[in-house]
Amino acid sequence: MRMSVLVPSYKRPQDLARCLAGLARQKRAADQVVVVARRTDADTIDTVKRFAPLFSPGKAPDIVLVDRPGVIHAMSSGLDRVTGEVVAITDDDAIPHADWLERIEAAFAGSLKTAGVGGRDLIPGELGGPGELHERVGVVQWWGRVVGNHHLGCGGPRKVHVLKGVNCAYRTALLRQVGFGRGLKGAGAQVHFELGIGLDLIARGWSLVYDPAILVDHFPAPRQDYDKRNSFNPRAVSDAVHNETVLLLRHLTAPRRLAMMAWSLACGTRAAPGLVGLALEARANPGLAADRWRATLRGRIEGYRSWRSLRSVGGQPVAVGS
């Protein structure tokens, strides 16, 4: 099985250096490493060239240069260069463990029906103490709530509905069929693109496997757009909610669409609150709670409108379990 690795990178040369060093230490060496960089990002391009000697002869990382912003454009451009049967994907701010590719390859070899494989990303300060790890990871519940928890997964391998972009791999031919998603919002990081990939593959009869033993160390770095991590930006919230909404509406059956919209508008989550979430958060910070709720509501409405406009070319509903 020929395996490629795809890494999009933008203005994080120090992070990328650690990532490339981790890829060079793989027990099962990558047959190809593809780094996607902005044409104007000289530091990233220089980092790839400096670390090329760490790889085996003939296996130095390929550089794909792009002129447009956005992770989806970067990933799509990189995927065009991929030659492996399987493409493993990670971020430039992650360091794959030495057995990363070895475990991914074994997971694909275990079942021809497996379209995607992913694992846990270990985030400093969020490693999970007693009672904080989860076996329910990467699932879409009946009423449309998306459960992540990929960084806190425990137990053995299990089927899931969505993998996390920092630690995932797909059969290349299938990923090319479904693509990385178009029509998603976001200036740099189009949040929730992984959800679209997972639900598209499941709709086609394939399965995704999450194994928490497949590990990367993840050091979330600042994003180079208005979507800053761990800080509130109304546009970033609206974009993320829009993307989640349009993807779920595209794939859920009619009763579940209704349940998803009702639940999200009434309850929601801390990151994307409904009315109940607004009331709870307003006790601590009324202004911020109201701003987040308004941004969330705007994203839901925009997502619904996008789904309606794209409905004629949307995917078929898929009965993802609870």
pLDDT of 11 reads 95
- Cα distance between residue 118 and residue 292, in whole Å: 31
- 34: domain CATH number is 3.90.550.10
DSSP state of 187: S
For residue 134, pLDDT over 60 is answered with yes
DSSP code string of 254-307: HHHHHHHHHHHHHTB-SSSB-HHHHHHHHTT-HHHHHHHHHHHHHHHHHHHHHH
pLDDT-derived band of residue 27, with 50, 70 and 90 as boundaries? very high
pLDDT-derived band of residue 310, with 50, 70 and 90 as boundaries? confident
pLDDT of 156 reads 97
Looking at the fold, whether 158 and 285 belong to one and the same domain comes out as no
DSSP state of 60: P
Angle at 144 between CA 217 and CA 236, to 5 degrees: 60
**pLDDT (average), residues 211-216:** 98
pTM for this one? 0.92
pLDDT of 207 reads 98
**pLDDT (average), residues 76-87:** 98
Q: Output the six-digit token pair for 248.
A: 């779920």
Residues spanned by the domain of 29: 3-218
Q: Which of 218, 246, 278 is the last residue of a domain?
A: 218
**pLDDT (average), residues 230-238:** 88
Q: What is the mean pLDDT of the chain?
A: 93
> What distances in angstroms separate CA 29 from CA 3, 6, 57, 139, one per listed residue?
9, 14, 12, 31
In a domain, 123, yes or no: yes
The pLDDT tens digits of the residues spanning 99-108 come to 999 999 999 9
In a domain, 254, yes or no: yes
Q: In this prediction, what percent of the chain has a pLDDT beyond 90?
A: 86
Show contacts of 271-275: CB within 8 Å, 24+ apart: 271/237, 271/240, 272/237, 272/240, 272/241, 272/244, 272/296, 272/299
The pLDDT tens digits of the residues spanning 37-57 come to 999 999 999 999 999 999 999
Looking at the fold, whether 130 and 254 belong to one and the same domain comes out as no
In a domain, 175, yes or no: yes
For residue 228, pLDDT over 90 is answered with no
Looking at the fold, whether 265 and 143 belong to one and the same domain comes out as no
pLDDT of 320 reads 47
Alpha-carbon torsion (55, 60, 64, 65), positive or negative: positive
pLDDT-derived band of residue 322, with 50, 70 and 90 as boundaries? very low
Looking at the fold, whether 17 and 53 belong to one and the same domain comes out as yes
Looking at the fold, whether 129 and 10 belong to one and the same domain comes out as yes
DSSP-H helix ranges across 86-155: 100-109
Residue with more model confidence, 182 or 247: 247
Looking at the fold, whether 189 and 272 belong to one and the same domain comes out as no
Minimum mean pLDDT among 121-125, 225-229, 254-258: which range?
Answer: 225-229
pLDDT of 186 reads 86
Looking at the fold, whether 93 and 166 belong to one and the same domain comes out as yes
Coil/strand/helix, residue 237: helix
Looking at the fold, whether 188 and 116 belong to one and the same domain comes out as yes
Looking at the fold, whether 125 and 101 belong to one and the same domain comes out as yes
Residue with more model confidence, 118 or 127: 118
Give the chain's domain count. 2
For residue 317, pLDDT over 50 is answered with no
pLDDT-derived band of residue 230, with 50, 70 and 90 as boundaries? low
pLDDT-derived band of residue 1, with 50, 70 and 90 as boundaries? very high
In a domain, 226, yes or no: no
**pLDDT (average), residues 302-310:** 93
**pLDDT (average), residues 282-286:** 94
